[in-house]
Amino acid sequence: MARIVGAMTTSHVPSIGIAMDTGITHDPYWKPLFDGYAPAKDFVRDLAPDITIVIYNDHGLEVFLDRVPTFGIAAAERYESGDEGWGPRRIPPFQGDPAFSWHLIEHLVADEFDLSMFQEWQVDHGFSVPMSIAFGGRSGEIAAWPTRVVPVVVNTIQFPLPQPLRCFKLGQAIRRAVQAWPGDERVLILGTGGMSHQLQGERAGFMHPPFDRMFLDMIGPDPEALTRIPLGTYMKEAGHEGAELIMWLVARGAMGAHVREVYKHYHVSASLTAAGLGCYVEA
């Protein structure tokens, strides 16, 4: 039986990837953020996951507004970094695990989650930046990724969005599917997005540290309370794009009822986004 050995949740701000790729992580603006990532890298290295399930939202690279799945899973042999307008990131391709991906798909559909299935897929910053935070060096440098990956895509772009409770239940279903896998792989859950930020309208640039800190404090001991917060409240308190926090609830749902917080980090701001991170193991 495969088992989930831990979860990490983190913001996926595109400029974090640019800072890594251009070697400016020691600059005064970026240094406090990247100093806080070092313990998370140690956490992931010690877990040594064979497979990493990455929960993120595509930002228009593969999914545009003409067809938007609520949930999707990719099942490709490999995943390249796509061009979001400033060129693909110069990082190695990610190795997929089609057999494991299809196992998840089959079990989640049987568990009444209707998924889109992608057999060809490029990944954007929402995927590659958290992977660099977790597995890369301080500047994101890496010769080869030490883990196979499964991209899980959640719609946080086009209304209607999935409800927070539905996302938490998706995580619980992922947990059941992982436990049904006959191999002995160690699996890391990587939940991405947020924290508070808004990119457009009258509140462009909005951030709300009190809400973010409340979310960070509660996601470990009381995630069910966070699932009862209406989506409209998420967007009011954390900004329109702050609704990405529902993807952290997928990751938390994949863990057991009781977790131990190993580490957390919060920084304001990273390119007009409040950047948070949490590391968890089952208690």
Cα 52 to Cα 38: distance, rounded to the nearest angstrom: 19
Binned at pLDDT 50, 70 and 90, residue 139 comes out as confident
pLDDT at 140 (0 to 100): 84
Q: Calculate mean pLDDT across residues 68-76.
A: 98
Prediction pTM value = 0.98
Tokens 């983190």: give the residue: 10
Query: Which residues pair with residue 282 across a beta bridge?
Result: 259
In whole angstroms, give the CA distance from residue 115 to residue 106. Answer: 10
- Percent of the chain topping pLDDT 70: 100
Contact of 278 with 11, CB cutoff 8 Å:
no
Residue 35: its H or E element: helix 31-35
Give pLDDT tens digits for 166-216.
999 999 999 999 999 999 999 999 999 999 999 999 999 999 999 999 999
**What string of DSSP letters covers 66-89?**
TS--SEEEE--SEEEEP-SSS---
- CA–CA gap between residue 84 and residue 74 (Å, rounded): 19
- Residues 99-103: what's their mean pLDDT? 98
Q: Among candidates 256, 140, 264, which has minimal Cα distance to 195?
A: 264
125 is catalytic: yes
Known catalytic residue at 258: no
In the set 125, 240, 265, 267, the catalytic residue is: 125
SS3 state of residue 115:
coil
pLDDT for 124 beyond 90: yes
**Residue in 59, 197, 265, 267 annotated catalytic:** 197
Average pLDDT, the chain: 97
For residues 14 and 193, what is the distance between their CA atoms, to the nearest angstrom? 11
Yes or no: say if 175 and 253 are a contact pair by the CB < 8 Å rule: yes
State how far the Cα of 240 lies from the Cα of 119, in Å rounded to an integer: 30
Q: Which two tokens stand for residue 79?
A: 């995943």
* Structure letter (DSSP) for residue 130: H
